A and B are shown apart, each in its own frame.
Chain A
């Protein structure tokens, strides 16, 4: 009797774990563009984002839908359920191939995990363009339209170093997710901009935040217990920066600690304006989406294939500019932000 009960509960626990994984692996679909009548001649474009809830990818999707409308194409937007959901993205690509799309725009959650599905799509003559995040190797896709994340990291690091002035840096690094290409590029770029290396003694601690505000706040609180003398913080994105600012409390706004960030969401720019963190590096998801849609439409029209890496640019936003680091103020930022 007790043996049977135990086995039942083991099944329950396994099922609990499985449900977390599988419910997350589902994808969801949103179709836009002109779907009435002659869908035979209409160019179908697939879009696979990392998630469909993150405002960044929502903006990217909306911009792609609008551009597809303008160009008379049909856009099928799919997404993984969470950032890092490789299986969901692979399923999405397979679905798009089955729907005979002309091109697929993808923001890969895993730069390597998605390669097989991409190769299968390209073998069928489908143009595949990576948006926002490059694959590894980058030539696994026809072209990449993205922020140069390393350059964005360098901009953040250069600014933070310059804003410290003569102070010796005591840096905390709030990373995103281990193994994520974008996260690694930003991290490496930041250290380069700061003039540090991975093993520099100036780095007082690092933490994995998954770009989540709650986790970032908890991690920052714990790191600050160990090193109260921190004066500079790298953050993977703006929610992580908001968590760091909350953990620092009054210190964040006083200029004692320079928090740098990357993203350029409207919430993030407002936080810069209100002094919660010093600067953020803005990306332009709308531009990635528009150029991506245009490229597929042109490929369908006359066979022109884009190639290589196309930098869609990034822009440092701060109200405390420092000499030698090009920046725009938050008024400009609020006009051009996303989300």
Chain B
């Protein structure tokens, strides 16, 4: 179910080899890990500029926004749902934060909190519609996507809003580890968020309930899980994560633009699917999603440096998505 397996006490190499094999056969993160290693190896061997410290740092910076969106998306897909509105929620969040802190003169911290609370509430809105009205998540979030895209355009009236506050752009602030490796505050936030959500999913009863609901909602309900409350909590947490994504987006580009991230929803779904999370719910992991997001970014970055037309980057990503879903289907068939 999750990427964790306990290490055996036995020290014999054969046993260890078998454990590794077992991990590959059962872990959803193994596929994207292999894909990532293959991509990195190929680009390292074929270009002079890919396998460098600077480029490694750059790839991580480029993955932050979509990767954060994908963490929220993973939570929802684990419950056999899907969120088409995540990037639209984030974009509205960036606009609200930028306008409140800019022309309204609100203190940046207050604007940031309002933005994150708004994103959480909008995630919760989808959750309420999914749980209380029992509507399919696909339709609910499609509707929310449409409404929020228009709301952002109306709210921004064709303008974009630069932010200057050091708090709002803090996640993009750069510093140097060992005087050499460029790191941003956003990377630390991403690592903390990944660790936090991963811990909640794998080490708490809430997390077990999320997997249980996604695997078989009826069975979970019969065994005493308040499934509606679990699903609602997932949408609220995902909304909060989108709020953090809004902060990440302002750190990367200090300009809130209603036209930005129009394909962010599909990009996050791509990362989740390549990351080995099953669209049927109940199977997948946060580390897998991060690996999936890295695979997509590494492909774009590496193919650019290999001088290959950017349209082929989309071809490569599309092929990977289909392979990932096919693998998931094969695993399912073998399991039943």
Q: Which residues of A contact B (CB under 8 A)?
A: 1-2, 5-6, 9, 12, 15-16, 19-20, 23, 53-55, 58, 82, 178, 205, 207-208, 212-214, 217-219, 221-223, 225-226, 239, 242-243, 246, 267, 339
CB distance from B65 to the nearest CB of A (A): 8
27 examples of A-B residue contacts, CB within 8 angstroms: A2-B332, A6-B329, A16-B82, A20-B266, A53-B153, A53-B258, A54-B158, A55-B158, A58-B157, A58-B158, A82-B262, A205-B304, A207-B304, A207-B310, A219-B310, A221-B58, A221-B61, A222-B300, A222-B301, A225-B49, A225-B54, A225-B301, A225-B305, A226-B47, A226-B304, A226-B305, A243-B253
Number of interface residues of B (CB under 8 A): 45
Report which of B50, B255, B280 forms a contact with A9, defined as CB distance below 8 A.
Answer: B280
CB distance from A217 to the nearest CB of B (A): 6
Interface centre among A207, A221, A222 (most CB of B within 10 A): A222
Contact A214 B260, CB 8 Å, known A55-B158, A226-B304? yes
Interface residues of B in 19-40 (CB under 8 A from A): none
Chain A contact surface mostly: helix
CB distance from B187 to the nearest CB of A (A): 15
Residue of A nearest to B249 (CB): A214
CB distance from A285 to the nearest CB of B (A): 13
Q: How far is the CA of A205 from the CA of B307 in the complex (A)?
A: 7
Contact A5 B258, CB 8 Å, known A16-B138, A20-B266, A339-B158? no
Q: Which 9 A-B pairs have the closest CB atoms?
A: A222-B304, A58-B158, A55-B158, A226-B305, A208-B310, A225-B55, A226-B49, A225-B49, A222-B301
Report which of A16, A53, A58, A205 forms a contact with B84, defined as CB distance below 8 A.
Answer: A16
Residues of B contacting A5 with CB < 8 Å? Answer: 280
Residues of B contacting A6 with CB < 8 Å? Answer: 329
CB distance from A7 to the nearest CB of B (A): 11
Residues of A contacting B157 with CB < 8 Å? Answer: 58
Q: How far is the CA of A19 from the CA of B332 in the complex (A)?
A: 28
Interface centre among B84, B257, B310 (most CB of A within 10 A): B310
A15:B280 contact, CB within 8 angstroms: no
Total A-B pairs, Cβ < 8 A: 87
B307:A246 contact, CB within 8 angstroms: no
Q: How far is the CA of A26 from the CA of B61 in the complex (A)?
A: 35
CB distance from A243 to the nearest CB of B (A): 8
Residues of B contacting A19 with CB < 8 Å? Answer: 84, 142
Interface centre among B158, B263, B280, B336 (most CB of A within 10 A): B158
Contact A178 B255, CB 8 Å, known A16-B84, A221-B58, A225-B305? no
B158:A221 contact, CB within 8 angstroms: no
B159:A222 contact, CB within 8 angstroms: no
Q: How far is the CA of A213 from the CA of B261 in the complex (A)?
A: 10
B253:A208 contact, CB within 8 angstroms: no
Q: How far is the CA of A103 from the CA of B310 in the complex (A)?
A: 40
Q: How far is the CA of A207 from the CA of B279 in the complex (A)?
A: 33
CB distance from A318 to the nearest CB of B (A): 21
CB distance from A50 to the nearest CB of B (A): 12
Whether a CB of chain A sits under 8 angstroms from the CB of B41 is no
Report which of B55, B84, B160, B259 forms a contact with A267, defined as CB distance below 8 A.
Answer: B160
B336:A15 contact, CB within 8 angstroms: no
Residues of B contacting A214 with CB < 8 Å? Answer: 252-253, 257, 260-261
A218:B300 contact, CB within 8 angstroms: yes
Residue of B nearest to A15 (CB): B138
